[in-house]
A and B are shown apart, each in its own frame.
Chain A
Amino acid sequence: MSDEHEHYEAVVVGAGPGGAAAAAALANYGVETLVLERGVDAGSKNVSGGLIYAEESAPYTIDDLFPDFREEASERPVTEYYLHNVAGDKVKTVDITDLHEHDTEWSDSVLRRRMDSWLAERVHEMTRETGGGLLTDVRVNGLLREGGEIVGVTCDEVDPIRADLVVAADGVNSELARDAGLMDWEDPEEWFQGVKAVVDMPPEVVADRFDVGEDEGVAHLFSGDLFEDVRGGGFLYTNEDSVSIGTVFHLNSLVAERAEPHELLDALLTHPLLAQWLGDDYEEREYSAKLVPDSKKVALKEPHEGRLVVVGDAAGQMQAQGPIIKGMNHAVSAGALAAEAFAEAKSRDDPSSAGRRYAKKLRSEGVMKKLRPPQYRAVSALGERDAVTNVVDGVLTSGVGRTAIKALSGQLDRLFGSPFLTSMVPDTRTSYVTLPTIIAEELGTPVREESTVEPPTLADRIGDLTYDTDIGNPHIRLVDNSVDASGAAVSACPVSAQDFGGGCYREETVTSNGDEERVVSLDTQPCVECGTCAVVADTEWEHPRGGKGVEFREG
């Protein structure tokens, strides 16, 4: 035992829902737990589309661990859920409330700054009881190793800390999961990218425009040809006094189409379908972005290494299948199961078995089955190949296919209402673009409203965000500035755009010795820390130091 560093029984890295659940559960087991959060406040780095689920089948729900959660930290329950298939101005709307309610004890919209900072206060109270606490403004930058074994964490701001258990709940761009060799940033196919606008709307206006009572809320999903050929969709959730509107796309599709995420969001915001909800008083509170792991492809089957366990987004535990997107609930389950595993391991005097026990619990409690559904494995083996997609698209767009779709009319609700079917849908153009488009074309009715929404420019959106720039210490370094290696970031980065000089990435022409060359330049000041460029460009990517960088107020 070395005495040179401070020691805690458990160190939890990241105070999002996964970290909070782990820390709360550890504290309940009497484990001395230190929680480290790199933001100035928990939630200041966190973005979510905005629905948290409590599943009936889940081993833990967030209100199990934090009893007043729904009163104190969430926005509105989702009491109605619709899917809109869009083709031009034609829309076919399907009520998917049944699908939404399948296995759902409750589901609320949330804004992460409010939610996570509330959780963090509870966590701080709970962990103090057992000799720990929660620290903000501390960035964990890696794993502390001794003789090759993980024995703790190293930080930018404080001395290394030893621990018997390290819980990496450090989000989608987990530096710990990468340090441990469990995750990489290589393949855009494994990720989604979401961008979101939180739009100001007083409660009485929400009630009026969405026809909901005080304790009711609505969720809308959008798919079809809104976004050209980019695979993905849009969402709208009602909050207490705002609405969250966003778009989520497959990162590889964004890159392939050279699409600008903020323009895709604008396409949704200005669509006539949304005119009924967004008046001419559109006021955007915050623009944000986030990378989302595709659990079907990246959820770690064994999310542990030595004393390290990985939970939530960091372990790829983000279930996005068909229209249903669930992440925070799985992070909560995983966090609490990791704590359970450690308590068990400890009581059997075998702390090193915590990781193995955690992985086993993920399987036996059914979490892994949701993250990596076996039926998806069977279908996607065929379904995601381009050739198959093209054939299916061909059939669908043909007269035969269209007739078939028409014949389906009236059964769409049932079709979209089957959780088994939606978990089978392969992630291809067919399910995101072709099918919804044809459904709308054949069955849809035209929308007559006209949109008067004028979304802010990207420069304004960046200007409205709060940053504490770590001057002279950029957290991303461009390794290869050629357009071939890193040019994709110029459009894929949610705060950059072609022909826009005020963002992170831009293309510039450099003349040297008479030769002209196009290169990519990087300014990390406007960075929203989503991690997109870590995947699509050749960079050395880490998070800013504690308290530095962007600070989300809504999240």
Chain B
Amino acid sequence: MGDPLDPSDYTVDELREELETVETADELESVLEAERTSKNRKTALEAIRNRLDDLGVPEAEAIEEDTDTEGEYLEAGGEPPFDPAEFDIAELGPKLKDVEDIDALRALLDAEESGENRDSVVTLVESRIDKLSESEVEGEVDPTELSVAELGNAVQNVDEVETLEAILDAEESGENRETAKNLIQSRIESVSGGEREEAEAAVPPEEKHPDLDHPTADKRHVRALEDGTYGDMWVYCETQAGALIDVSREMLGKARELIDGYNDDYDADERVVAVLVGDDVEKHAEECIACGADVVVYHEDDRLDRFQHKAYTEIFCDMARWGGDPGEGNPGEADWRDYDEPRYVVFPATNNGRDLSAQVQAELDSGLASDCSGLFIEDAVISNPVKTGQPGTNKTFERVLHMKRPDFSGFEYSTILCLDNPNREFHPQGASVIPGSFELPDPDPDLEGEVVEHDVALDDDWFRVEVTEFDQLEAGVDLTGHDVIVAMGRGIGADPTRGMELAVDLADCFEDAEIGVTRGIVTGSYNFEGHVEQYTQEERQIGETGQVVEPDLYVAAGISGAVQHKVGMDESDTIVAINTDPEARIRDFSDYFIEGDLFEVLPRLIDAIETGELDLGAVTDGGRDASETTASDEGDTHE
């Protein structure tokens, strides 16, 4: 070796070549040091380190090189527009896009291959060369050589249907990519469409396609509703087992809010109409009004005891058309409304509500946005020629119900609009609503509203489905709404079965008591004997992942009081805790804390209640402040 190599005498490229002659790591280290203290070029440092790596620990696995047809470009001369070695792959992509000259690209390729020869860079440059050479040959698009995205761009420049079809053939006989074929086809359509898109006269589908069945042909009376008048937002209020369900209230509250806003925005005076159908449902009218309805329309019949979609649909549609356009078989005058059909209808997205909503909206010849979670009313500017009737124009649709529904597990939302066509009206605009999407309204008993009974003869044929038997699913154990809850925790571990027996005995002392357990019991490994095992199941778990209870008296025996348990019970009026550990967390939120073993305390407590020695009133009135009670004095009470 001669003089030590001074890196600052060389450009990075030259240096890279020079480094090949350096054979010892020590010398390289000193070159590295020299570079660091002089120019400190990142690429130069990298080149030295690469050389160091080469000399260092030999890589066990030799890297096999792809042999590719790279030779053909090697003779290409010219100067590269920049040195590829100065850029990493991420930077090179955008830079290459600016290079239009194939010779320059070949020079670049050359430079890379004789330089760092990074596979990915070589590929990148090659594909750029390929791309440019293709576009030079005018009109020739070979789909098999292009990615779908590239193909999409390429066909945009092709206006000949024959050429496009040739490309399509090539694709089909080549990779046959669905996405690629779609792109070509849509280009064919848009190229050829120019001639086809002449406005057609509105031909009814029956005449246009005489060869097809037309099961909806009998709905003429609906379609005849041209320039119909529409008003109000209708809410189908579902009842189950004789009770109004929460989603009905939620929809009424939302409808109230929407219609109030609507009346302001459009200077209108439209209403919220609640619809009740069933046996003995008029009794819910008052609550519907308190939740926001201006009008309640109901239909009662004992045959409507259970939901039946034919009968319910007929009744709902009859209500909707009531007093409207007097088509054949439609109901007569109504003195409570003056429009043909409802402007908006909303249904609950429950099993029955989904069934009814689809049927009703089909019968009314409108559309349905199912399973919505958001609603608002706004104008919408639409350019779709199907809706505007005039390609290339915009049309403003007023008072449009925007119906948001979650797609793809709620990751995206679609907003569905139900818009009239030029020759066909789509009203009512309808949605079904996922329960829980809207706030439960605070019922206001001072609100006033009109209650209207709907009367139509029910056709026996509507009841051709007979419900012969039904079963109400077991709801499990409901621990809410009881006076007393006796809850057991892992303190029963010494004798789990005996512990649960004590809980049963204590609960038996009260008129209305139930037994609950902590998650620790549910997930524990205790072997309970058969007669108490039922009390230790998940359905009796109290806490964050179980039930939330707030009885007058909560007895927590052997429960430490984890926060997950606390959230299930700390609203109880009076909490009595029994625990051997005076530091147990539950003491912080107990009214009375008894320090002791539940196996000793519970029998005494049961005994005291049974013999009447303990004044339950004093315990359950919750009158004493926890701060007045200490472990010892409360313990003494029972000792």
Report A's interface with B, CB cutoff 8 A.
Answer: 1, 7, 28, 30, 32, 56-57, 59-60, 64-65, 130-131, 133-138, 157-158, 336, 340, 343-344, 346-348, 357, 360-361, 363-364, 366, 369, 374-375, 459-460, 462-463, 467, 469, 471-472, 481, 501-502, 506, 508-512, 519-523, 525-526, 546
Contact = CB atoms under 8 A, between A and B. Distances in A.
Nearest to B526: A510
A235 B562 CA distance: 30
A508 B527 contact: no
A133 B525 CA distance: 45
B384 interface: no
Interface string B551-593: 0000000001011100000000000000000000100000000
A347 B127 CA distance: 8
Q: Which 8 A-B pairs have the closest CB atoms?
A: A463-B563, A523-B523, A30-B149, A502-B562, A374-B57, A521-B525, A469-B545, A64-B90
Contacts of A336: 90
Nearest to A471: B545
Contact of A340 (B49, B89, B524, B538): B89
Contacts of B89: 59-60, 340
Given A360-B63, A469-B544, A131 B409 contact: no
Nearest to A340: B120
B527 A511 contact: yes
Contacts of A134: 411
Given A60-B90, A363-B61, A469-B545, 17 more contacts: A7-B178, A30-B149, A30-B150, A57-B46, A135-B408, A158-B409, A336-B90, A344-B123, A348-B123, A360-B63, A360-B64, A374-B57, A375-B57, A462-B562, A502-B560, A511-B527, A546-B409
B564 A508 contact: no
A346 B150 CA distance: 13
A462 B563 CA distance: 9
Nearest to B120: A340
A30 B147 CA distance: 8
A43 B459 CA distance: 59
Given A65-B90, A158-B409, A472-B538, A510 B525 contact: yes
Interface of B: 42, 45-46, 49, 53, 57, 59-61, 63-64, 88-91, 93, 119-120, 123, 127, 147-150, 176, 178-179, 408-412, 489-490, 493, 495, 519-520, 522-527, 538, 544-545, 560, 562-564, 585
Contacts, number: 125
Contact of A519 (B522, B525, B538): B525
Contacts of B563: 459-460, 462-463
Contacts of A462: 562-564
Contact of A344 (B90, B120, B178): B120
Contacts of B53: 366, 369
A346 B409 contact: no
Given A509-B493, A521-B523, A522-B523, A158 B88 contact: no
Given A130-B149, A501-B560, A361 B119 contact: yes
Given A135-B409, A501-B520, A459 B59 contact: no
A134 B412 CA distance: 10
Nearest to B175: A349
Contacts of A57: 46, 49
Contacts of B526: 508, 510
Nearest to B538: A472
28 contacts: A1-B176, A59-B88, A60-B88, A135-B408, A135-B409, A135-B411, A137-B411, A138-B409, A340-B120, A344-B119, A347-B123, A360-B63, A363-B59, A369-B59, A462-B562, A462-B564, A463-B562, A469-B544, A501-B520, A508-B526, A511-B527, A520-B525, A521-B524, A523-B519, A523-B523, A525-B545, A525-B564, A546-B409
A331 to B, nearest CB: 16
A431 B556 CA distance: 51
A348 B144 CA distance: 11
A525 B408 contact: no
Contacts of A136: 411
B489 to A, nearest CB: 8
